[in-house]
Structure formats: structure tokens, C-alpha cells
Amino acid sequence: MSNARAARPTRRGILAAGGALGLGAVLAACGDDDASSGSSGSSASTPAKSGPWTFKDDRGTTVKLDRIPTAIVAFTGVGAALYDYGVQVKGVFGPTKTAAGKADVQAGDMDVTKVTVLGNVWDEFNVEKYAALAPDVLISTMFDNAGTLWYVPEASKDKIAGLAPSVGISVYDRQLTAPLQRMWELAESLGADMKAAAVTDAKKKFEEAAARLRAAAKAKPGIKVLAGSASAELFYVSGTNLSIDLEYFKALGVNFVEPPESAKAQGGGWYESLSWENVDKYAADIIMMDDRSSTIQPADITEATWKKLPAVKAGQVIARSPEPILSYAKCVPLLENLAEALEKAKKVS
């Protein structure tokens, strides 16, 4: 997908910035064409609990079933988070496999050969394969206040909604700890053992990592951090006011580059788009780069203007996960990596 220098955000621009502006209003959906599929040999694990299931999601919608769902279909990142808590999903949609057939970064530790992949890229969602799974529930994240389920195509959302109830977890304009808690509550409702040592240890490590990041930010208040993302034509600079990770890091004291609201208007308030000629618009000591497979990774950026950036020349470029896998275990490294970068950072801007 190429990026046109247009007045409205492009698909990659939205994906690159880690946000959405309302899929129906901004993006043209492609319907329910056949999507790539993994093996359907795996079924959901048996919940530890039994009986009726009720869960109120972040749309205010309460889903009620006569038993705890086992045939769970989820956005890939949600499936990865539930997997960390011991809940196996049956099918996924969203970035799951790389071109080489390996697990995408958003798939976490899931065995991607043991889930049915209903769609691997934007606008792919095979409704027929979804129906064949006899789903109990569909779970996704939401990047807006309109209840838009992430990676559920606009063109086929009504068909999809008619096959099973859905649950939406908001990742819009709140700090990381809020959706982490919601995913914890969801996993617990699905029968996960939230008292297991691995689970409680991960939460403790998250709290320790947060304290470390707060201390590192306090010790280096003059270090400027820029959250960026690369495409072939444009470089995106994210603001902090809508992204769950950046809002949380900012609350812990991290000093971020903040594009003005007027500059982020094209990106719906999420980000500013820069040509590669203007990639040096903002001074930064550390650059956090989008680690998703839909974006160009730092090692593959060939633009001379990028290579001349002080942070790049100083080796002060780290990865960022704009769509964090919402388990404490997966979020610990996000905090630790930024804390370490701050602790070691030199003022270069």
C-alpha cells in the first residue's frame, strides 16, 4: 500500500500511527473475500469455571451466554493476550503471520498453526470460515468512541455480527493500565487462573518496571523522546494524547515530542505526517519506532535524512508497540526497554 499525500489519512497512515478514526468514516472496506487461513486443528481450552457467562464491554454492551464461551474468535492481539492468561482462541483476524509464515509480532506467543486465520491483513475477514467455527463470541479492540471493532470490515460487519455476540475493549484515549485491567477481567471471566504464579509475577514485574521508568524519566527530564513510524513515502510522528502506551509513559514523566494539534489534523489527532525531507523537523534524543510488520523497520530505512538524525547516529533508536498485547507479561518489556534507553541516553538534540 502506498501513501498518497492527501488531505485525509491513508490506511497505512492510520495503521502506522497505531490508531483509527472510525473505520466506516475513513476507510473503504473490501468485504469478506477469502483470506489466508491457518490450521483449525486447535480448539479453545476448557475453562476452569462453568455455568452462565456475562461480560459488560467498553461499549456498555452486556453479553450473556448460558455457558462460558470456548469457541472464541478474536483480533490477533487480543488472542495473544488471552493466550498469556491460559485462554486459547479458536480463530483470529488481523496480522498473524509474516510472509515467511512465522508468527507476526502481534501474535505474541500463540502457535499460529493452531488457530484458524480468518484474515491476515486489513479488510480480510472470511465470513464463511468464521461461521464454520460456530463462534460463541468475537472479541476485538476499539480505537474510537463509536464502538468500531478493530479489523472487522465495514462491508461485512453486519453479517459478522449476526453470527455471534461481540465484546469490545477500548484502547482509545486512556492510559495503558486501563485496558490491561479490562483484559485481565475478561480473561478471568473466561476461566483463566488469575492467581497462577506466572500471572501474578508478571503483574508485579509490570509495577516494578513502571517504577523504574518513572525514576529514569525523573533523572533525565531533558531527554526528548519521539514516537515515529515509517512508510515508503512518509514519516509519522505520533502525539501522546490518544495512544494508550504514550499516554501512560507521559504520565510516568517521559518527555515526548508533541506535534501541535493543527499539524495532527490530517491524522485525525493521532499523528503528523512528514515527508522524508522534513524528518528532522523535531529535535529528539531517543526515537521509538513502530515495530509492526505493516511499517518499515529502522534497519531497512535507506533515507539519508534519517541516517543523519542525531538520535540515529547515536544509536538511540528503540522499538515501540503502538498496539500492545494487553497482558502484563507482554507489557513489561515495553516499560523496561524505554527505561533502559532513558538511563543510557545522551543529550544529542
CA atoms of 94 and 105, how far apart (whole Å) = 11
Asked whether the beta carbons of 51 and 190 are under 8 A apart, the reply is no
Record the pTM: 0.88
The average confidence (pLDDT) of the chain is: 89
Across the range 99-121, mean pLDDT stands at 97
Residue 13 pLDDT > 90: no
Report residue 236 as a C-alpha cell: 509519522
The pLDDT tens digits of the residues spanning 198-235 come to 999 999 999 999 999 999 999 999 999 999 999 999 99
Q: Are strands 166-170 and 137-142 parallel, antiparallel or unpaired?
A: parallel
Confidence of residue 51 (pLDDT cuts 50, 70, 90): confident
Confidence of residue 49 (pLDDT cuts 50, 70, 90): low
Report residue 339 as a C-alpha cell: 527505561
| Residue 25: count of CB within 10 angstroms of its CB | 13
Return the exposure string of 121-143: e unless at least 16 CB atoms fall within 10 Å of the residue's CB, then b.
Answer: bbbbbbbebbeebebbbbbbbbb
Across the range 157-170, mean pLDDT stands at 98
Report residue 22 as a C-alpha cell: 472510525
